[in-house]
Structure 1
């Protein structure tokens, strides 16, 4: 029980801006429990998003345009921009077309290049478009999506960590990777399926099947992203764990956007 408690605390300290001051000693058991707890940070984020969505929609007169922008802003605020930083770093590295060692150096560079700015702009611009058009159709949108997407993308991050070797023997990815095995991915899939099953226990059948599509899209994206990381960098770093969250989130809203047209056509 102590392992679970410290693991949850560590995961929230790493992936959120919540002011948790408890010092967690580093150990294999706590590190592994923290990785298993990463999806729980998505559960809390999803609950907060639903609460804010309900308040804005039912108790204020603000437009869906504002609600869409606010939800994206709050998602980034919740992680302190940590994942955005990872997306920008790997964008600069991949766009540099340098050799592998030079790309890893670019990841460590605190400066931001033009490619990072451009990739972030289009990532968030398209995400805003998808979120707004999905939320604007009240007959299609279901609040459970605001929880399932944060959970799914963090499950994807854990799977990427388990499935991919580290690019170097330093950093957060290496620190957690050395305590994980391929067999842990099976546990994570069942664990994630359990969280989502409880979420959709009372949802309608169409919502359930659309969520199955989201799960499939997440698995495909993580698999492709893993191949890119291995080819471009020889493995993963902490930046890539953050980048997969940002990229996968935009992709899942894109999938919902596509389903919106097929379902309501």
Structure 2
């Protein structure tokens, strides 16, 4: 397998539950090389979720269809990012010292704050998916964008903010990303978003679909960048850097923010 093939396979094995049967010798170098494919993993998950949402909506009323869509969404990630969201909530909302917060986040057990945070997040995500489904499937091609840009921002965060535990822990495996990998990740995210945003106008061939797609292509990345930057700065100020758990928390927040933007665009255009 080529170096790029190994990096892509590593990204899919790490971030998803797609059956990628490849024997890979994981190393910090391979972890760093794999990040450029994170938006591609997001697009692949989004494509399956989109197809699932279309099928569920055809067979069922919108609410159970939305629930099954969310189950599929979480299942394809193995709950990886949701686990980071819960661990981060347990640590940050404990209001302890920095060292104690990091210790709490490392603990595999989930506390009350983690349960509350995950419940509220999933309720909000479910309501947003439901809102999109009851308005029809015309713009569900844009459903790929939240998954693409949330994963792009994780790479941006790795390169922008320091590691709270230095080279220790999962985050330390990504320490030292070079600019080439960062720019490659951004380019892949832009190309994938352009393809996703063009799906609805190509199918429905009307000006309204084109306007929604264009605004989604522009506003969703900006919303993800703005919300992600705000949270990453807060986490950095509190923890003295970011961790693997906080990358997952960032991903979860940005998926919800981007979904919210989609609902706003659909309801006000």
TM-score under structure 1 normalisation?
A: 0.90
The Cα RMSD (Å) is: 1.9
Tell me if the contact between 1:11 and 1:34 (Cα under 8 Å) persists in the aligned partners.
yes
Once residues 198 and 137 of structure 1 are traced to their aligned partners in structure 2, the CA distance between those partners, rounded to angstroms, is 22
Give the distance between the partners of 2:111 and 2:21, measured in 1 at CA: 34
- State the partner residue of 2:251: 245
Instruction: Tell me which moved more, 29-38 or 4-13.
Output: 29-38
Aligned to 2:158: 161
Structure 1: 4+ residue segments shifted above 6 A: none
Output one character per residue of 1:135-156: Cα deviation in whole Å (capped at 9) or x when no partner: 21128x5121222221111111
CA distance in 2, matches of 1:115, 1:103: 13
> What corresponds to 1:35 in structure 2?
35
Secondary structure, in 3 states, of the residue corresponding to 1:24?
coil
Query: Is 1:150 equivalent to 2:147 in the alignment?
Result: yes
The equivalent residue for 1:188 is 185
Give, in whole Å, the separation in 1 of the partners of 2:109 and 2:190: 39
Q: How many residues align?
A: 259
Q: 1:231 to 1:182 in 2, by over 3 A?
A: farther
Q: In 2 relative to 1, CA 96–182 (structure 1 residues): closer, same or farther, beyond 3 Å?
A: farther
How far off its partner does 1:119 sit?
1.1
- Relative to structure 1, is the Cα distance of residues 3 and 183 closer, same or farther in structure 2, using a 3 angstrom cutoff? closer
Question: TM-score, normalised to structure 2's length?
Answer: 0.89
Shift of 1:110: 1.6
Segments of 5+ residues of structure 1 without an aligned counterpart are none
Counterpart in the other structure of 1:11: 11
**Counterparts of 1:244 and 1:190 in 2: how far apart (Å)?**
20
Q: Is the 8 A contact 2:50 2:144 kept in 1?
A: yes
Distance 1:68 1:109, change over 3 A: same
Corresponding residue SS for 2:140: coil
Distance 1:256 1:207, change over 3 A: same
Q: Which residue in the other structure is 1:262 paired with?
A: 268
